[in-house]
């Protein structure tokens, strides 16, 4: 067929994604954008939920559902956790106490005419005399 199902004078612009019938540009609805297959007006109304009593006859075979990817992903995560568990246990057992913080040093030379400690917020240390 090379004419629309509703408008016999119009050439075919596309095929409905649900009922596989040819329709013209006026009868097709691109509800998910121009890159996705269109609906005819009747199937678009049914798919939107406005009309619910019509039965759609499809000539396309219904594809069997594949395995649930969420379960596969959860299984991979569990396997990964199980593989890392011995390493984590060894790390927890063999982890020594954290090293104490090394003493801070002041690498900036003190000017000769400074009348206060190099740190205004701390008392002068015995290593650094007040000048």
Q: What is the mean pLDDT of residues 9-32?
A: 90
Is the pLDDT reported for residue 58 higher than 80? no
Longest dimension (CA), the chain: 104
Q: Which residues, 6 or more positions from 106, have their beta carbon under 8 angstroms from its beta carbon?
A: 118, 128
In whole numbers, what is the pLDDT of the chain averaged over residues?
A: 78
Cα–chain-centroid distance for residue 41?
34
Rounded average pLDDT over 74-80: 95
Give CA–CA dist 5/12, Å, rounded. 9
Average pLDDT over residues 75-79: 95
30 neighbors 15 (Cβ within 8 angstroms)? no
The answer on pLDDT for 67 being more than 70 is yes
Geometric angle at alpha carbon 11, from 43 and 8, rounded to 5°: 75
Higher pLDDT residue, 15 or 51? 15
pLDDT score recorded for residue 66: 74
């Amino acid at each position: 067929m090379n004419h629309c199902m509703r408008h016999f004078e119009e050439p075919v612009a596309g095929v409905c994604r649900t009922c596989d019938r040819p329709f013209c540009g006026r009868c097709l609805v691109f509800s998910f954008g121009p890159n996705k297959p269109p609906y005819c007006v009747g199937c678009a109304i049914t798919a939107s939920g406005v009309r619910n009593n019509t039965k759609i006859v499809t000539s396309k075979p219904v594809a069997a559902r594949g395995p649930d990817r969420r379960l596969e992903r959860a299984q991979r995560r569990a396997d990964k956790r199980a593989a890392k568990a011995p390493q984590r246990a060894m790390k927890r057992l063999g982890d020594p106490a954290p090293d104490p913080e090394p003493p801070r040093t002041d690498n900036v030379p003190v000017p000769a005419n400074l009348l206060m400690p190099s740190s205004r917020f701390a008392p002068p240390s015995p290593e650094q005399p007040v000048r």
